[in-house]
Amino acid sequence: MLRLLVLVSGGGTNLQAVIDGIKDGTIGDTKIVKVISNKRDAYALARAENAGIETEVISRRDYETKEDFEKALSEGIMKADPDLIVLAGFLVVLPAGIVKNFENRIINIHPSLIPSFCGKNFYGLRVHEEALKRGVKLTGATVHFVDEGCDSGPIILQKAVEVKETDTPEILQKRVMEQAEWKIMPEAINLIAKGRVKVENGKVRITGG
């Protein structure tokens, strides 16, 4: 059984896709042991509670210094004792010690085809605004392992999505979520649970199947 810890900050539609994937068998041999949010009002917390999953809020606001917050976050993560940490719209940079401790055991979903429209400051609607500004005809989503850089870790899965001339950033964001994010996130977790994801020389190789 793969023990998942999911970290969230917002609406939690990717968390929902993982909860549903475990329920309908798309994701095998996996259990969400806890959901941690840095935002007390994140709707993702309600989604977790509705599914009977333990939740915890660790907010920067409750700590005087960044160091104290990072210490609490690290302790919360270690206490959950996860095999895999899933960043599902988590808008906090993870403490360096956690990234080191969980090498190739933290995954993130990014709403573009990395290395396009990624890195510092590329999050939320901004990613889609920039894609529309550049006039790309295809965009998509990427699930990747988290390393010490920003969106720079080994790529696990990507899925392309068509851009339409009439798109607004909001419409494109929704299409990328529906057609790519909610599919490749559960798929990546299932592959990891099955032991089919290997990292060699900074690149992912999917084995078997």
Show the site string, 90-129: x = touches ligand GRF by CB under 6 A, - = not. -------------------xxx------------------
Nearer CB in complex with ligand GRF: 63/123: 123
Q: Is 86 helix (H, G, I), strand (E, B) or coil?
A: strand
Nearer CB in complex with ligand GRF: 13/30: 13
Nearest to 37 by CA among 20, 67, 62: 62
Show the site string, 35-74: x = touches ligand GRF by CB under 6 A, - = not. ---------x------------------------------
Crossing angle of helices 182-193/13-24, nearest 10°? 50
Residue 89 contacts ligand GRF per CB under 6 A: yes
Nearer CB in complex with ligand GRF: 10/153: 10
- How many residues are given for the chain? 209
Q: What Rg value do the Cα atoms of the chain yield, rounded?
A: 17
Q: Find the part of the chain contacting ligand GRF (CB under 6 A) among 8-16, 98-106, 149-157, 201-209.
A: 8-16
Residue 21 contacts ligand GRF per CB under 6 A: no
Task: Respond yes or no: is residue 128 known to be catalytic.
Answer: no
Residue count at the site for ligand GRF (CB under 6 A)?
Answer: 12
Nearest to 184 by CA among 159, 201, 148: 159
Catalytic member of 110, 128, 144, 183? 110
CA distance 125 to 117: 11
Residue 80 contacts ligand GRF per CB under 6 A: no
Query: Which amino acid appears at position 120 of this protein?
Result: K
Binders of ligand GRF in range 156-185 (CB under 6 A) = 181
**Which residue blocks in the chain are alpha helix, DSSP H?**
13-24, 43-50, 66-80, 96-101, 125-134, 169-176, 182-193
CA distance 35 to 193: 18
User: Would you name the residues annotated as active-site residues?
Assistant: 110
Contacts to ligand GRF by CB under 6 A: 10-14, 44, 88-89, 109-111, 181
